[in-house]
Amino acid sequence: MPRCWLLFFLLGWCATVPAAPALSITLSNGEWPPYMGEKLPGGGRLSRVVSEAFASENVSVRYQFMPWVRALHDARQGRVAGSVGWLLTPDRQRDFLFSDPLYTGRVVMFYRRDSTAPWSPWRLIKGRRLGLSRGYDYGAAVWPALTQPGAQNTLDEAVDDLTNLKKLAAGYIDGFPCDEAVCWNLIQTHWPPAEQGQFATTKEALHESPIHLVINRQHEHAQELIARFNRGLHKLKRSPQWAQIMPASPR
């Protein structure tokens, strides 16, 4: 067969391959700027990742923003198809299919730049007043290192990361672990530029957490939705658009 005819044949065959049928789903979502947030452009960085990855595979997404406990509950009950922004745990795996990681978050130790005590290596931090945020998963290795008897650290739990940052600035605590991008976003939102330099972080991550999209296993298109999303995510990560949505620097 002449090459030109072969080319026309292949082009004609590709043109007849049907596109994946359109699907429309609703996902629960929550407030965790800059990654997720109802008032953020596109619903936040990770919401945009999910929307763009699905759109490339002919799936449209609508978000329902709600408190995180309810977001997971509604996804478990099938009131929505799934939810955005979850760590993989055995308990959740029983109810959900997990996508490939949307991104891997870095938990670092925030402290005041004028601190003279060493903060690295973080596993050897001793005798400090450390803040924790209620309900936050810092990773299995972090808690034992900070609470071992020889460390003599004092732990002080606050309701959220912003409260801990305010306590850190006021000198009520010496440091606290937080997702790098999340706390820098809070600092840029709540402190004027001239005061942002008072904060510093460890270069070394205390914990790295892959974050996933989850789809309820009982959803009629569960397997197909995960497969389409993973294909779209891989395409998105290879495109120039990825760097625009997920900038390398957390600041």
pLDDT tens for the chain, 251 residues long, are 455 455 444 455 444 445 679 999 999 999 999 999 999 999 999 999 999 999 999 999 999 999 999 999 999 999 999 999 999 999 999 999 999 999 999 999 999 999 998 999 998 899 999 999 987 777 777 888 888 888 899 999 999 999 999 999 999 999 999 999 999 999 999 999 999 999 999 999 999 989 999 999 999 999 999 999 999 999 999 999 999 999 887 77
Task: Check whether residue 33 and residue 80 sit in a common domain.
Answer: yes
> Alpha-carbon Rg of the chain, whole angstroms?
22
Task: Check whether residue 203 and residue 215 sit in a common domain.
Answer: no
153 falls within a domain: yes
Task: Check whether residue 138 and residue 75 sit in a common domain.
Answer: no
Query: What single DSSP character describes residue 20?
Result: P
Q: Domain of 164?
A: 105-208
Q: Into how many domains does the chain fold?
A: 2
16 falls within a domain: no
For position 133, which CATH number holds? Answer: 3.40.190.10
80 falls within a domain: yes
Task: Check whether residue 130 and residue 44 sit in a common domain.
Answer: no
Burial class (CB in 10 A: 0-12, 13-18, 19+), 139: middle
Task: Check whether residue 135 and residue 179 sit in a common domain.
Answer: yes
14 falls within a domain: no
Q: Which residues contact 249 (CB under 8 A, 6 or more apart)?
A: none
pTM for this entry: 0.84
Q: Closest Cα to residue 37, out of 3, 71, 10?
A: 71
